[in-house]
């Protein structure tokens, strides 16, 4: 293990909820819950104000509403979260070439590899500067842990929450870990924790005192060895810049169980197309197609089929998913469906047989039954407005949806840089109201080019604004209400 705390772990504070609060001035300092809003929705993130009432991630949204009925419940805006995450990860890569992202809001950084730190003092300075840079670039806060190993850096960042920095001095690791519950260590979940508790082991200190032989007897060789090393603060894992993607998948949970077999088939085809879209977006292909079905009684079935070679052909994935569905009984109803691809590669091997089948299907009216079923569904002109969605009104400007129903939609008109805005209600089909792209949380400096230096008016669109946003803003970027 290292002799200096040069491994940094960054964890953004209540990331999704914090982005929403930064984007919506009227929600700052208030309880915010981000997640699925339907009857079977699940909380993705809760702000610290909501956590006071007991709301936490992975909790059913219905339960969260009972605990915090006055909180703001919003749908996720993943496009905006990814954009902010890219800004944060860019700041981390300025510190070191060795950055290991764990999720959109969490990453390890090897400060020593980038020459950003070599001892405790320089590591603390680097961590403090990073937190300040993140706040300046995004308006958000992050917690930083610094230690000589990845395990301790992550534990330190948890101790630093929210909006803090904790540095673990080399030599103090075991004194820090000793009083902590065994669940603090990675890999100790509820089942392992209960097993250890029944053996009289509840703290990391007791885990270390038990010894490796006893832990191997209790938990098995691999797990026992690993936990014994962690209890003694031994963690040699390096920061790895590139983490191999093992699978690509998509899934949907339905508010009402699907009983119609044709509808189930249509949903599986749609999920297969979405999965291939993600696969191609990552420049990957895969050999094994996986179908996941959760039935009405919460039983979950997984079926898979391995192809002769990797593919990113949507027709091949759709056909494989359809074959897998044939072997699943959906009579009682389906509450969740998912399609995934594993056995990933960065090349494809064309499936000539699948192509031939696709060509035959093109002239076969029976093969067109599923597309016809989709076409027969009546088109609806009613627009769906979701709480938290960005909108723009021709007269009132930019805002976000507070709620909708009974043919009405309520909008609060405000931007990240404005004061809390006014609330207005419109008809759901109001032609002056339309969906909009999100605005940046922090405006960048005005862009200046040669035309500006010649006396022309410089662009007022923030430099950090993605091109698609600036195009949608047009000439109104300077007059955000």
The whole-number average pLDDT for the span 295-311 is 90
What does the angle CA 338 – CA 102 – CA 443 come to, to the nearest 5 degrees? 100
What is d(CA 201, CA 355) in angstroms, rounded to the nearest whole number?
59
375 has a pLDDT exceeding 70: no
pLDDT score, position 281: 86
Strands 390-393 and 334-345: unpaired
Map out the domains of the chain with their CATH numbers.
175-231 (1.10.150.20), 247-376 (3.30.1490.100), 390-476 (no CATH)
The whole-number average pLDDT for the span 304-311 is 91
For the chain, the average pLDDT equals 85
353 has a pLDDT exceeding 50: no
pLDDT in tens, 429-448: 999 999 999 999 998 665 54
The whole-number average pLDDT for the span 117-133 is 96
Side by side, the strands of the sheet bearing 334-345 are 247-258, 334-345, 285-295, 300-311
pLDDT in tens, 2-50: 889 999 999 999 999 999 999 999 999 999 999 998 888 899 999 999 9
Helix pair angle (15-23, 78-95), 10° resolution: 110
The whole-number average pLDDT for the span 406-416 is 95
pLDDT score, position 186: 85
The residues annotated with a catalytic role in the active site are: 106
Q: Which of 49, 48, 53 shows the shortest CA–CA distance to 64? A: 53
What is d(CA 215, CA 232) in angstroms, rounded to the nearest whole number?
13
pLDDT score, position 446: 55
pTM, entire model = 0.76
Residue whose token pair is 């905006």? 80
List residues forming the annotated binding site for Mg(2+).
11, 105
């Amino acid at each position: 293990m290292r002799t200096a705390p040069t491994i940094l772990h960054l964890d953004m504070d209540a990331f999704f909820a914090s982005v929403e609060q930064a984007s919506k001035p009227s929600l700052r300092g208030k309880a915010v819950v981000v997640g699925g809003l339907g009857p079977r929705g699940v909380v993705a993130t809760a702000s610290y104000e909501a956590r006071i009432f007991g709301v936490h991630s992975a909790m059913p949204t219905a339960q969260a509403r009972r605990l915090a009925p006055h909180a703001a419940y919003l749908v996720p805006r993943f496009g905006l979260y990814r954009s902010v995450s890219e800004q944060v990860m860019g700041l981390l890569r300025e510190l070191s070439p060795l950055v290991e992202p764990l999720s959109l809001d969490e990453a390890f950084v090897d400060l020593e590899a980038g020459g950003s730190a070599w001892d405790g003092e320089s590591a603390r300075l680097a961590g403090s500067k990073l937190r300040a840079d993140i706040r300046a670039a995004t308006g958000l806060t992050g917690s930083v842990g610094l230690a000589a190993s990845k395990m301790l850096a992550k534990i330190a960042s948890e101790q630093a929450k929210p909006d803090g920095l904790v540095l673990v001095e080399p030599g103090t690791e075991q004194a820090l870990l000793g009083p902590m519950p065994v669940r603090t260590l990675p890999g100790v979940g509820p089942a392992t924790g209960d097993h250890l508790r029944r053996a009289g082991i509840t703290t990391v200190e007791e885990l270390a005192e038990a010894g490796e032989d006893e832990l191997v007897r209790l938990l098995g060789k691999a797990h026992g060895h690993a936990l014994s090393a962690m209890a003694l603060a031994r963690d040699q894992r390096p920061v790895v810049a590139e983490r191999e993607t093992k699978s690509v998948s998509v899934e949907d949970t339905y508010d009402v169980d699907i009983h119609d077999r044709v509808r189930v088939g249509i949903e599986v085809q749609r999920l297969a197309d979405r999965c291939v879209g993600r696969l191609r977006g990552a420049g990957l292909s895969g050999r094994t197609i996986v179908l996941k079905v959760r039935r009405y009684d919460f039983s979950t079935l997984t079926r898979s089929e391995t192809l002769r070679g990797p593919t990113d052909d949507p027709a091949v994935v759709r056909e494989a998913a359809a074959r897998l569905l044939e072997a699943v009984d959906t009579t009682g109803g389906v509450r969740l469906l998912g399609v995934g691809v594993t056995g990933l590669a960065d090349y494809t091997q064309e499936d000539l047989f699948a192509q031939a089948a696709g060509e035959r299907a093109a002239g076969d009216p029976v093969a067109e039954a599923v597309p016809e079923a989709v076409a027969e569904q009546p088109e609806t002109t009613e627009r769906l407005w979701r709480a938290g969605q960005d909108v723009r009104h021709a007269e009132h400007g930019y805002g976000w949806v507070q709620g909708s129903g009974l043919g009405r939609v309520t909008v609060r008109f405000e931007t990240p840089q404005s004061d809390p805005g006014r609330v207005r209600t419109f008809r759901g089909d109001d032609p002056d109201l339309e969906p909009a792209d999100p605005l940046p949380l922090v405006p960048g400096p005005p862009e200046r080019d040669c035309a500006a230096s010649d006396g022309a008016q410089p662009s007022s669109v923030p430099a950090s604004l993605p091109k698609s946003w600036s195009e949608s803003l047009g000439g109104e970027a300077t007059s955000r209400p």
